Structure 1
Amino acid sequence: MEAGIVGLPNVGKSTLFNALTAAGIASENYPFCTIEPNVGVVPVPDDRLQRIEAHIPTQKVIPAALRLVDIAGIVRGASEGEGLGNKFLSHIRNVDAILQVVRCFENPDITHVDGDVDPIRDIDTIATELLLADMQTVESSKDKAARTARSGDKEAKARLELLARCAEVLDNSQPVRSLELDEDEQKILRSFGLITAKPILFVANVDEDDPAGEGPLVQKVRDWAAANGAEGNVVPVCARLESELAELDDDDKLELLEASGLTEPALAVLARAAYKLLGLQSYFTAGEKEIRAWTIPIGATAPQAAGVIHSDFERGFIRAEIYALDDLEELKTEKAIRDAGRLRVEGKGYTMQDGDITHFLFNV
């Protein structure tokens, strides 16, 4: 799963990406690695891994991870090819979610492209470019689907009907994500590559003297998000402060966090928020070789979760043995959990819960 970081010029997008990829929230067992010049993998901090390790000694601990893509900067007219518009659009169509960095700080030394700082105007600028880009995609796709539908192709007819619904909401200046769709329609929608269908998280880049994002500019973003179906999808981050934290050792990092009134780097909060935005959750496997968080969609069944480890696990799934972290912390060992009758045996129809500690039994 990957998220694309977008924003206007001079909002701190590159600073944020560089801070994320400086491994400031990485454990020593999961270092950041660069896949391409503008792509990185960032671990999702989860204290449950260390809580499991306290009772199950292991050789290494592997957290869940997010793939982040630093999308080329957007300017007005990007949908018409202005600036790096075409590059921006081709990259953003391939991500699963959008992290939009919104400037919520004043600094006379950093010029805003529109002259003054107005986060709502910035949000509207990018929203407009995404809407215009999707309108072009929908119109070209409708022509192709209409030609195929005339032959009586049922799938083409379904595509054409959904494209018409997409065109309607876009014409009303609403994102495609505002449509209520069933599972089949969602599957068709994914094939269109529409940008406004993707979930979005607003990253409010704040001043160093307001790391918690309590100032009026961030509040404007929160109010806008609440009024536009994105309540709770705002995370304040001071990209400059996070850059400094990423370069410090643990003791100095803790000292700077305390001085800033923070309990953890804001990037840790951001990584978890992006994970949630994508509709993901983690289950754990634990043993002497490794303790690992595995990423699955919310609602995944036990066989589907097993398939994340290896396709053979899903194909030959027999059952899952599952216990809770609370039971491990109370009873201290897996053997004690089993002896106490707290180890659950689940079959193919079980829906995985966030935080399940699991052993899969399979036969191929």
Structure 2
Amino acid sequence: MALTIGIIGLPQSGKTSLFNALTKAGAPISGYAASTVKANIGMVQVPDARLQPLADIFQPKKTTPTTVDFVDVAGMGQAAQGGKDKKEGLNAEFLGHIRNADALAVVLRSFANDNVTHVNDTIDPFRDLENLNAELTITDLASVERRLERSTRSAKSGDKKYQQEIDILRRLQSALEEFKLIKDLELGQPEQALLKDLFLLTIKPRMYVLNVSEGALGEANELLEKIAAGEAVDEAGLSNELKGIAKVAQRARSEGSEVAAVSASLEAELSELPEEDAQEYLESLGLPKLGADRVIQVGYRLLNLITFLTAGEDEVRAWTVTKGAKAPEAAGKIHTDLERTFIRAEVIHYNDFIKYGSFAAAKEKGVYRLEGKEYVVEDGDIMQIRAGAGK
């Protein structure tokens, strides 16, 4: 199953422009109201520079990168427009588009444009983040309170498990009423088990995607790198746009979230150009790659994901697993039966394979090895699975 990232933000924040830059889907760009439940859905191939060299060597019938699904949902903003006392939250159909997302990409607008109105009239990405968080917590609060009502009714049977559930739900309710994100709470195993059933939004890993003006793109990325590294930043010399970016980046660093800066409209345009032309323009801005590619990479770091590879004459393919996964789990990504019948894996790292040019040469050099069930897969491993006969 592909990684799924839900793209959320206020209307006119650039969500759909980012979606188009990522997916090349050409979704229509027009601000739609918070009551609209329309969603754009697209699949993106994850850029991986290791696939082409392997394809050049093996000349396979096909080359298959791993993928990410992006879901661009309607513009939020009830909390921004109705205040924190508004209790409806997001409706069920809206939630249906993002409740199963593995992570959220929160798009925050920092660019000014008189032709593109802002729901709050002024540009302030940190304020917008606070408003979005308020709406997410209101939505989660409604979910928790509905579950609390059901559990309270069920507890009348005398079953003690419901009383424990009520205690947990009341703790969550109290936190959400104070507009705290569930992901910031210290939760034990019983709480974690219950959360899997609730599909709360404020527990999902998140990245902040700052949609910046084209002219500020290079400076914004340099600023994000400094803040991520813990370097001091003299905000007195920054433009208003960069000050807003710095504030969001500092918030992201304090809570362990990831952040990226893109110019979504620019990159949507570049995504329609031939790759060489787009790359040349990016280099003129001092940027190594499309922001869309950076968003995918940030998503992988956010979710602690790595990529392993399989290679042969039939197919060269990339696969995604969680960092720390053992060899049988990786085998299960290729086919579920392989995890159950796993015996061992033949493993060589991509860098060693490219250095020596073939499996045979790698074996001679002693870098092609057999690993058992306890082997922890590393990013860039090329694996061949040995398994027993299935039932």
Task: State if a TM-score over 0.5 links the two structures.
Answer: yes
Q: TM-score, normalised by structure 1?
A: 0.88
> How many angstroms does 1:328 deviate by?
1.0
Mark the CA change 1:23 to 1:62 in structure 2 (over 3 Å): closer, same or farther. Answer: farther
| 1:189 aligns to 2:214 (yes or no) | no
Q: Say whether 1:302 aligns with 2:308.
A: no
**Secondary structure, aligned partner of 1:210:** helix
Pick aligned residue for 2:375 from 341, 350, 362: 350
For the aligned residue pairs, the C-alpha RMSD in angstroms reads 2.3
Look up the match of 1:123.
Answer: 129
1:18 matched to which residue of 2? 20
The amino acid across from 1:288 in the alignment is E
User: Which residue of structure 2 aligns with residue 222 of structure 1?
Assistant: 249
Distance 1:46 1:182, change over 3 A: farther
| 1:153-181 Cα deviation digits (max 9, x unpaired) | 46545533432332232233211111233
1:86 is displaced (CA, Å) by: 4.5
- Cα distance in 2 for partners of 1:56, 1:286 equals 7
The correspondence of residues 196-211 of structure 1 with structure 2, limited to 5 A, is 196-211=202-217
Determine the structure 1 residue equivalent to 2:47.
45
Aligned to 2:62: 60
Q: 1:155/1:46 Cα in 2 relative to 1: closer, same or farther (>3 Å)?
A: farther
* Amino acid aligned to 2:311: A
**Does the CA-based 8 Å contact 1:76-1:129 persist in structure 2?**
yes
SS of 1:191's equivalent in the other structure is helix
Q: Which of 324, 329, 339 is matched with 2:349 structurally?
A: 324
Percent identity (aligned): 39
Matching residue's letter, 1:303: P
Task: Give the SS at the match of 1:211.
Answer: helix
Give yes or no for contact 1:73–1:88 (8 Å, CA) kept in 2.
no
Report 1:151-300 matches (<5 A): 151=157, 153=159, 155-182=161-188, 185-212=191-218, 213=220, 214=223, 215-227=242-254, 229-231=255-257, 233-300=258-325
Per the alignment, do residues 345 and 145 of structure 1 end up closer, same or farther by CA in structure 2, a change over 3 Å counting?
A: farther
CA separation of 1:95 and 1:15: change in aligned 2, threshold 3 A: same
Query: 2:152, 2:87 → 1: CA distance?
Result: 25
The verdict on how the C-alpha distance between 1:319 and 1:161 changes in structure 2, with shifts beyond 3 A counting, is farther
SS in 2 for 1:358: strand
The CA deviation at 1:93 is 1.8
Deviation at 1:320, TM superposition (A): 1.1
Deviations 1:219-262 (A, max 9, x none): 121122223x035x110010011011111112321221122221
Task: Give the match for residue 27 of structure 1.
Answer: none
- Unpaired segments ≥5 residues, structure 2: 27-37, 224-241
Q: Is the 8 A contact 2:88 2:139 kept in 1?
A: no
Shift of 1:343: 1.9
Cα 1:158/1:352, change in 2 over 3 Å: farther
3-state SS in 2 of match to 1:352: coil
CA distance in 1, matches of 2:296, 2:192: 25
Q: Given residue 244 of structure 2, which amino acid in structure 1 is its aligned partner? A: L
Deviations 1:98-150 (A, max 9, x none): 10110011111111110110101100111000111111111121222234345
In the alignment, does 2:115 pair up with 1:109?
yes
Structure 1 match to 2:364: 339
Q: Which amino acid aligns with 2:251?
A: W
Counterpart mapping for 1:23-34 below 5 A = none
Q: Is the 8 A contact 1:5 1:100 kept in 2?
A: yes
- 1:151 and 1:285 mapped to 2: Cα distance? 54
* Cα deviation, residue 15, structure 1: 1.0
Residues 86 and 338 of structure 1: CA distance in aligned 2, closer, same or farther (over 3 Å): same
Distance 1:111 1:10 in 2: 7
TM normalised by structure 2 equals 0.83
Instruction: Name the aligned partner's letter for residue 373 of structure 2.
Output: K
Cα distance change on mapping 1:154 and 1:46 into 2, 3 Å: farther
Deviates more, 1:192-201 or 1:272-281: 272-281
Distance across 2 between alignment mates of 1:154 and 1:317 = 41
Aligned residues: 350
Unpaired runs of at least 5, structure 1: 25-35
Q: Distance in 2 between matches of 1:289 and 1:346?
A: 23
**Partner Cα separation in structure 2 for residue 150 and residue 174 of structure 1:** 30
Report if aligned partners of 1:3, 1:96 keep a CA contact under 8 Å in 2: yes
SS for the counterpart of 1:348 is coil
Any conservation in 2 of the 1:23–1:246 contact (CA below 8 Å)?
Answer: no
User: SS of the counterpart of 1:3?
Assistant: strand
Rounded Cα–Cα distance in structure 2 between residues aligned with 1:350 and 1:187 = 28
| 1:308/1:244 CA distance change after superposition, 3 Å | same
**In 2, Cα distance between the equivalents of 1:313 and 1:248?**
42
Report deviation, 1:282. 1.2
